[in-house]
Chains A and B, each alone.
Chain A
Amino acid sequence: DAGVTQTPRHEVAEKGQTIILKCEPVSGHNDLFWYRQTKIQGLELLSYFRSKSLMEDGGAFKDRFKAEMLNSSFSTLKIQPTEPKDSAVYLCASSLRGGAEQFFGPGTRLTVL
């Protein structure tokens, strides 16, 4: 059974560019989460979907970050425009239902120059 897939694994962007990160959750999972991971802030929740409906859009991340779940097996995270402070690892996770174990993908390491 395939786990959570994330592409690309690495992304380098110039300041001001638009980047789109992709995630495929575990088949059959209803909940999907996007996190940002940095050494200083740790794991921060960006967005949370339940059965494709956006339940949380990350508060402080709202202005330049937009997550979408086009269907139950695919989600994107768009950052527009990118800034150097966005350099981080972006993790996608899915779970079967609310409160169940979250399965994480390997992450996308984003570097913004």
Chain B
Amino acid sequence: QQQVRQSSQSLTVWEGETAILNCSYENSAFDYFPWYQQFPGEGPALLIAIRSVSDKKEDGRFTIFFNKREKNLSLHIKDSQPGDSATYFCAASDTGNYKYVFGAGTRLKVIA
């Protein structure tokens, strides 16, 4: 049972474009959605996160758009750089249950 689904296994964009990574979930109880970034040979690191009371969270070039009714969210990476090439994981959890459920990840490649 895949509770958190990322629609693309991989995504390639040109430098300077906006990369859009999509994620959907099934459990209505989920209320916290972190995105993790992972480079080869390293563990995932928190990039940005949103709570379900918000519909948008911005941090520099990274923005999460959240749609509670549709149970989906997306990560937008503005002005993509080759250094953004990594795997991005969408995750979800609910208050009181401290486990994260991770999506399968989207491998982003930014071409110079």
A→B interface (CB under 8 Å) = 4, 31, 33, 42-43, 45, 48, 50, 56, 91, 93, 95, 98-99, 101-107
Size class of the contact patch on chain B = 20 to 34
Binding site secondary structure of chain A: strand
- State the Cβ distance, B5 to closest chain A Cβ, in Å: 11
Distance of A56 Cα from B36 Cα, bound (Å): 22
B→A interface (CB under 8 Å) = 32, 34, 36, 41-46, 49, 89, 93, 95-96, 98-100, 102-105
- State the Cβ distance, B50 to closest chain A Cβ, in Å: 13
Distance of A56 Cα from B100 Cα, bound (Å): 13
Q: Do residues B32 and A106 form an inter-chain contact, with CB atoms below 8 A? A: no
Q: List 8 A-B contacts (CB under 8 A).
A: A43-B44, A43-B102, A43-B105, A98-B98, A99-B32, A99-B98, A107-B42, A107-B43
> Which residues in B have their C-beta under 8 angstroms from that of A42?
89, 102-105
> Which residues in B have their C-beta under 8 angstroms from that of A31?
98
Q: Do residues B98 and A104 form an inter-chain contact, with CB atoms below 8 A? A: no
Residue of A33, A48, A101 touching B34 (CB-CB under 8 A) = A101
Residue of A56, A93, A95, A99 touching B43 (CB-CB under 8 A) = A93
- State the Cβ distance, B27 to closest chain A Cβ, in Å: 15
Distance of A57 Cα from B104 Cα, bound (Å): 21
Distance of A102 Cα from B36 Cα, bound (Å): 10
Q: Do residues B45 and A104 form an inter-chain contact, with CB atoms below 8 A? A: yes
Q: Do residues A101 and B46 form an inter-chain contact, with CB atoms below 8 A? A: yes
> Which residues in A have their C-beta under 8 angstroms from that of B103?
42
Q: Do residues A106 and B43 form an inter-chain contact, with CB atoms below 8 A? A: yes
Q: In the complex where A42-B103, A42-B104, A101-B34 touch, is A50 in contact with B98 (Cβ < 8 A)?
A: yes
Residue of B45, B89, B93, B102 touching A99 (CB-CB under 8 A) = B93
Residue of A48, A101, A106 touching B99 (CB-CB under 8 A) = A48
- State the Cβ distance, A100 to closest chain B Cβ, in Å: 8
